[in-house]
Chains A and B, each alone.
Chain A
Amino acid sequence: MNEYESLTQAVIKGDIQLAVSETRKYVDAGADVQSILDKGLIAAMDTVGENFSTGRIFVPQMLRSAKTMQECMNIIKPLFQEGDVTTKGTVVIGTVKGDLHDIGKNLVSMMLEGAGFAITDLGVDVPPDKFVQKAQEVGADVVGMSALLSITMPGMPATIEALTASGLKEKVKVIVGGAPVTEKYANEIDADGYAPDAATAVVEVKKLLGIS
């Protein structure tokens, strides 16, 4: 039982009202915001991810918890000193050029955010140079790419080549996913990681960055 158990449970349940009032309660009591974030919110989302991976909860429940966490974040974010939030790492994510599918990519974004990563979501139809430029600009640790179509999958190796050409490939980890994407394909194109779903993406990104 951690000191933020009531908040953690509210986020796991996806009870926005309760989670928000619990967050306010801890803030008013003078709790450290970083520890509300780490021990209350992120701890909850870790459990949510685990429950999803083991098939105990489903996408709508995961989304509801992520939304609950976002609402709580809206309360504590302004309380951090500028640049004071400790993130687990920075992820630039998007659906590759020519591809407009965003459902899976959005789920991955949300779960990574819930796990404590800073996310820059470039949206859909993202060309290789845009991935590179943004990764450079924000100092990304990870570049995540999604594709749902056989014809747009080559956008992944194209982006990896662009990262290599700019000298960024050594500095970032590349993770890929999407319905037609397989682990084998990820290996072929020299991606660092592959995940079949949003919860696995979180586990994989942590592994790539050496976070336990």
Chain B
Amino acid sequence: MIIVGEKINTSRPGMGEAVEQRNRALIVRTALDQAQAGADYIDVNAGTFPKDEAVHLCWLVETVQSELDLPLCLDSPNPEALSEGMKRHNGAPMINSISLEEDRFKAVLPIVASQPCEVVALCMGRASMPTTVEDRVEVGKELVAKLMEAGISAERIYVDPLIQPVSVDVQMGIAALGAIREIMKAFPGVKTICGLSNVSYGLPERRLINRSFLALAMSYGLSAAILDPMDRRLMGTLLAVDMLLGRDEYCEKFIEAYQEGRIVEA
């Protein structure tokens, strides 16, 4: 499983202030903590600052990478912020995201084609949110085809099936899971990715729902997740499920995490 640490996001409590006040120490610590907890990428998102998003995102890229040798996930729908952030990034970042909405696709495509990076392809429809498995697969198909046409190899593409809350439509969980399975089947080499928290919007005990969804999504073939790696119950679930799916030789990672006190029982 590829883990993207989600904590550096200005919509999370305290993070907006940390970015505005250029609190380097807090940002660096949040990044290092996530890396130590097992993150493969550190997500950076300054989406609550529509006017200064690019400036803030660039500062986040430089601040995190000055202390940590990990690729970042540049998380923004804003082409300017993505392009500026990418220029300041060492190595190949993950660009989150491109989608089919006309302006956004045209604006983000040249950015992801301009230098080595990985790209998240979000299954948002042209005129509305997807509801069924078929909606998602159709959009995913078109995105993958267009990205590959632009010279981006399958291995660099992460399709996000777009997770919606089950509180509003109880079929949304299974629709996303079905889409993960169909997309993994339809495009060899392409990866799937999603966030976990949308699914539990509007419900109590969200972390319980999120980690149950993670387990299910992994069994449907999910390759990567955007999550809080500091959540030890969640990480415990992730490691246990990885092991149960036969991907942890000699159960090494699971046992090691237990011995180092990194996991707790759900």
- A and B from one complex: yes
Q: What residues on B are CB-neighbors of A91 within 8 Å?
A: none
Cα(A102)–Cα(B128), bound, Å: 9
Distance in angstroms from A106 CB to nearest chain B CB is 8
Q: Are B47 and A101 in contact (CB under 8 A)?
A: no
Q: Are A102 and B48 in contact (CB under 8 A)?
A: no
Q: Are A100 and B167 in contact (CB under 8 A)?
A: no
Residue of A nearest to B167 (CB): A59
B68 at the interface (CB under 8 A from A): no
Give the size range of B's interface with the partner: 20 to 34
Interface with A: B59-67, B187-195, B197-205, B248-256, which one? B197-205
Cα(A59)–Cα(B202), bound, Å: 5
Cα(A152)–Cα(B202), bound, Å: 23
Which residues of B approach A to under 8 Å, CB–CB?
11, 16, 46-50, 53, 76-78, 81, 101, 103-104, 124-125, 127-129, 164-165, 167-168, 170, 201-204
Q: Are A150 and B128 in contact (CB under 8 A)?
A: no
The DSSP consensus for interface residues of chain B is loop
Q: Are B127 and A149 in contact (CB under 8 A)?
A: no
With A58-B204, A100-B127 already in contact, the answer to whether A180 and B168 are too (CB < 8 A) is: no
Q: Are A150 and B164 in contact (CB under 8 A)?
A: no
Which of B81, B125, B202 is the most central at the interface, judged by chain A CB atoms within 10 Å of its CB? B202
Which residues of A approach B to under 8 Å, CB–CB?
58-60, 63, 98, 100-103, 106-107, 124-125, 149-154, 179-180, 182, 185
The DSSP consensus for interface residues of chain A is loop
Residue of A nearest to B9 (CB): A180
Q: What residues on B are CB-neighbors of A154 within 8 Å?
A: 50
Q: Are A59 and B11 in contact (CB under 8 A)?
A: no
With A100-B125, A149-B47, A150-B48 already in contact, the answer to whether A59 and B77 are too (CB < 8 A) is: no
Cα(A149)–Cα(B47), bound, Å: 7
Q: What residues on B are CB-neighbors of A101 within 8 Å?
A: 129
Cα(A126)–Cα(B6), bound, Å: 30
Ordered by A's residue number, 13 sampled pairs between the chains whose C-beta atoms are within 8 Å are A58-B203, A59-B202, A60-B167, A100-B101, A102-B128, A103-B168, A149-B47, A150-B46, A150-B47, A150-B81, A151-B78, A180-B50, A185-B50
Cα(A153)–Cα(B129), bound, Å: 18
Q: Are B48 and A182 in contact (CB under 8 A)?
A: yes
Cα(A58)–Cα(B201), bound, Å: 9
Q: What residues on A are CB-neighbors of B81 within 8 Å?
A: 150
Residue of A nearest to B53 (CB): A150
Cα(A60)–Cα(B204), bound, Å: 11
Q: Given B47, B103, B170, which contacts A180 in the complex, CB threshold below 8 Å?
A: B47
Q: What residues on B are CB-neighbors of A153 within 8 Å?
A: 50
